[in-house]
Amino acid sequence: MNRFSPALALSFLFLGACTLAPDYVRPAAPIPSGWPTGAAYEDAAAKDGVEVADLGWQDFFLSDEMRNLIAQALANNRDMREAVLNVEQARALYRVQRADLLPSISGDGTMTRERVPGDISGTGQAQTGTSYRVQANIASYELDLFGRVRSLNEQALQEYFATDEARRAAQIALIAEVANAYLTLRADQRLLALTEETLQTQEKSLELVQMTFDRGISSKLDLVQSQTAVETARVNRYAFIRQVALDRNALTLLVGAPIDDDALDRAENIDSFVADLPAGLPSDLLRNRPDIRQAEHVLQGANANIGAARAAFFPSITLTAAGGTASGSLSGLFEPGSGAWSFMPQISLPIFQGGRNLANLEVAEIQKDINIARYEGTIQTAFREVADALAGRGTYDAQVAAQQALVDATDESYALAERRYRSGIDSFLTLLDAQRSLYAAEQELIRTRLARVSNTVNLYKVLGGGGLAEAADEK
């Protein structure tokens, strides 16, 4: 009767290692096997070279000033710091849940002194006694026969992984935000310089018109139009001064520390700030994008939660035990015969729950379906973002070239209009229109170049931004 069967022990260990969670199967990606094709993608075909996942931001961004700002942002940005702390919190919560897999053992020592009235003691006299006890306790340890605790532990583990992927996604997003904020600042500084150059040109034109007006050659209308052009340029100058200040404030917030203006790159060609990128295949998104990996970890956690909900339909066994020594005197605690122990197994059978367990299982299964939909939606969103960026890469080069040709043509047109006005062939209105056209074309060229390089930064972000290599190193 006192023998414990080894086969029975092995069966308990086998049951404790199993769960009732369904086998996880990754849902099929609801996206095409290749990127879109057409006129917008003719120059955006996948290029040979290192994968984006293996291209760190230190190698992608070629500007030393930009790399320094990104490094400062990763160290000082408060949103990034919050994301890192969320990971630490998720790790701690997982360790709390994991502790339920092992019995909780505590030790305590007590001294009890009590007085018993005579009518209760049976001696007719009140009695006072003292007892001492030292023992170790196992409090309500659940034998995980049907994997409920293991399922909850797996869910907590997947939540930790998902939080870590959210941290990586936040890091990639921060890198892209800092880069784009820096590029925007540089572009607006160039627009401010262009506006100041235009203002100087307009002021020289006003001096010329004023001279010709004083000599009775030009009309009052020419003078007023020239003054209007000067004031318009001056208005634009103050607008860009304000915009540059706003850009600097935005970049300072992202970096999390004051920015030294002397450390900003003064190169006018922002196209040289970033490297070119390969596009890869849509299937690469599943392993490169941290938001997709985050959604899958959430889905795996929901899958594990189904196992915990299923286990609620079966009996649960908990063990409570204590062992130690007890004596009426402190010196007799460890004498022979002072040992004391208790063992209290408890089994709980779900006989009638009013449909609670069935409803909990239905909730867990529906939650899994919801997470499947979110996972598939995340993949589709990622595919759309990459396709948009590839459309930009396939068209921006040609657009910049066309805009540059427009600037060259309008510059020549302005030079001709100026010579014809000085020769008295054309009116000042023709010269003014040529000035406005040139100014607008040069502004648009700066903005188009900014859009092109920002699109490359965005492509780096939506392709995964090197998060896979980091994840591999950590795991």
286-329, pLDDT tens digit by residue? 788 899 999 999 999 999 999 989 888 888 888 888 877 876 66
Task: Look up residue 227 and give its two tokens.
Answer: 């003054």
Strand residue runs (E) in 101-212: 105-116, 127-143
Single-letter amino acid, residue 8: L
pLDDT higher than threshold 50 for residue 170: yes
pLDDT higher than threshold 90 for residue 441: yes
For residue range 268-280, what is the model confidence (pLDDT) as tens digits?
678 788 887 776 7
Instruction: Supply the pLDDT for residue 218.
Output: 75
Length of the chain in residues, anyone? 475
Q: Which uninterrupted H or E stretch holds 371?
A: helix 356-422
Query: Domain locations in the chain?
Result: 18-98+148-313+357-474
Lowest mean pLDDT among 106-120, 158-172, 193-207, 453-467: 106-120
Distance (Å) of CA 170 to CA 81, 135, 409: 10, 50, 44
pLDDT band for 13, please (50, 70, 90 cuts). very low
Instruction: Supply the pLDDT for residue 332.
Output: 63
pLDDT higher than threshold 50 for residue 468: no
> Where do we find the tokens 């859009």?
451
Whether the Cβ atoms of residue 290 and residue 468 lie closer than 8 Å to each other: no
Distance (Å) of CA 297 to CA 104, 158, 159, 163, 368: 29, 5, 7, 9, 11
24, exposed or middle or buried, with CB in 10 Å at 0-12, 13-18, 19+?
Answer: middle
Neighbours of 23 (CB within 10 A): 5
The fold for domain 18-98+148-313+357-474 equals Outer membrane efflux proteins (OEP) (1.20.1600)
For residue range 361-391, what is the model confidence (pLDDT) as tens digits?
999 999 999 999 999 999 999 999 999 999 9
- Interatomic CA distance for residues 129 and 457, integer angstroms: 81
